[in-house]
Amino acid sequence: MNETLDITITQADQSRLTGTDFSQLPFGKVFSDHMFIAEYKDGEWSNLQVLPYGPIPMSPAISALHYGQAIFEGLKAYRQANGKINVFRADKNHERFNKSAHRMAMPAIPREIFMQGIAALLDIDEKWIPSQDGYSLYIRPVMYATDPYLGVRASETYTFALLTTPTGPYYSQPLKVKIETEYTRADDGGVGFAKTAGNYARSLYPFAEAQKEGYDQLIWTDAATHEYIEEAGTANLIFVINGKLVTPSVRSTVLDGVTRDTILTLAKKAGIEVEERRVSVKEIIEGINDGSVTDAFAAGTAATVTPIGEIGYQGSLYKLSDPASRTISSGIAKTLNDIRYGLSEDELGWNWTI
């Protein structure tokens, strides 16, 4: 961030802060007063602005709507114990955003725009960063294709936007999840590793079907055989098997989660053995039955660590240990939160303090 970018700032006439109840924050519904946007045309990003959050005019012909050139990210800003603001591992999210962009034939967003856009937005909306324990400001970068053209080809124009939404602690009820063996989320050579809109669109119908059966989430399996566990679709999956942390390796069908990486790194530092490899459904089901699988949890920015309480597979329900007894995952979750909130040393330089 050497060069300081020219960002035009337009303040909202009135803040919506006073009308916002921070004790009632459904995820992703309440937006802060401002947003950041940048526009891509003629091969470059320009028109960098912070402006009041609100509608962005568009043609109904924009290619994002028709052909799905749209990507996003998710990261969080935390108010630390000393009052300072910390954005956690923003570099990782920037890198991944550009990986998604590359796969979707979209232009990269320069690091300066990503980072200075976040800094400018947090500066103007600082009061939207909650200070209660377990709260944070979720930052949603998004890029979408804006050519008003119905031919199928990569768009030549794009909008990049940053939105922020204050969030409370995610619900920490242990999840009841279903191992999905009919529908698939991603396939080899596809776009599963990218945070691109279509991956989530295609999961909605199977998810709704599982919800009807009483499940909170799906566990996706590989498209070819349905024998291997991939991830949860908005979070990665980590198991504790015989005291080791075991997680499906990252591949073209599995998103490389920042939380996953963070947890594995912290576990290794704490002397816990970590295995990244293919994980079969059979291993997990048998392991629950014989007691070697003692913990299963979802790891993602939104939820951090969410314990899985029950796993449904082919009509049977397998119950895991009481989350209160899961010392390994709760210990790592605490270490992670202490770093984010500035309660313990950030030895690995993950915090970007603004």
Q: What would the DSSP string read from start to end of 184-209?
A: -S--TTSSTTS-BHHHHHHHHHHHHH
> Should residue 231 be labelled a site residue for ligand PLP when binding is judged by CB under 6 A?
yes
Tokens of 326: 């899961």
Q: Least separation, in Å, of the C-beta of 263 and ligand PLP?
A: 9
31 or 193, CB closer to ligand PLP?
A: 193
Size of the site for ligand PLP (CB under 6 A): 14
Taking contact as CB under 6 A, which single stretch among the options 13-21, 155-163, 258-266, 328-336 is the one that binds ligand PLP?
A: 258-266
**What region, left, alpha or beta, does residue 239 occupy, with left being phi > 0 and alpha being psi -120 to 50 degrees?**
beta
With H, G, I as helix, E, B as strand and everything else as coil, classify residue 303: coil
Contact 80, 86 (CB under 8 A): yes
Q: How far is the CB of 96 from ligand PLP (least distance, A)?
A: 7
- Scan residues 51-110 and list those touching ligand PLP (CB under 6 A): 74
Q: Which is nearer to ligand PLP, 261 or 338 (CB)?
A: 261
Nearest to 231 by CA among 272, 271, 205, 200: 200
CB of 61 to ligand PLP, least distance (A): 28
Q: Which of 235, 238, 267, 333 is in the footprint of ligand PLP by CB under 6 A?
A: 235
Does 258 bind ligand PLP (CB under 6 A)? Our answer is yes
* Closest-CA residue to 221 (of 174, 282, 275, 262): 282
Residue 326 touching ligand PLP (CB under 6 A): no
Q: How far is the CB of 142 from ligand PLP (least distance, A)?
A: 13
Helix%, strand%, coil% for the chain, nearest 5: 25, 30, 45
If the CB atoms of residues 50 and 255 are measured against ligand PLP, the closer one turns out to be 255
Among positions 259, 294, 329, 335, the unique one binding ligand PLP when judged by CB under 6 A = 259
The three-state secondary structure class of 84 is coil
Helices 90-103 and 111-124 pack at an angle, to 10 degrees, of 130
Question: What SS3 state is found at 171?
Answer: coil
- Looking at the Cβ atoms of 166 and 233, the one nearer to ligand PLP is 233
Q: Extract long-range pairs of 321-325: CB within 8 Å, 24+ residues apart.
A: 321/294, 321/295, 323/174
Tell me if 93 sits within 8 A of 77, measured CB to CB.
no
One character per residue 271-310, x = contact with ligand PLP (rule: CB under 6 A): -----------------------------xx---------
- Among 255, 279, 293, 320, contact with ligand PLP (rule: CB under 6 A): 255
Nearer to ligand PLP, 155 or 247 (CB): 247
Comparing CB distances to ligand PLP, the nearer of 74 and 168 is 74
- How far the first Cα of the chain sits from its last, in Å, is 13
CB of 203 to ligand PLP, least distance (A): 9
User: 281 by DSSP, 3-state: which?
Assistant: helix
- Name the residue nearer to ligand PLP (CB basis): 50 or 264: 264
Choosing from 69, 155, 234, 247, the residue that interacts with ligand PLP (CB under 6 A) is: 234
Residue 252, exposed/middle/buried by CB under 10 A (0-12, 13-18, 19+)?
Answer: middle
CB of 74 to ligand PLP, least distance (A): 5
Residue 267 CB, shortest distance to ligand PLP, in Å, is 15
Q: Which parts of 182-201 interact with ligand PLP (CB under 6 A)?
A: 195
Q: Which of 236, 247, 253, 294 binds ligand PLP (CB under 6 A)?
A: 236
Taking the CA atoms of 287, 288, 292 and 294 in sequence, report the sign of the dihedral they define.
positive
Binding residues vs ligand PLP (CB under 6 A): 74, 195, 231, 233-236, 255, 257-260, 300-301
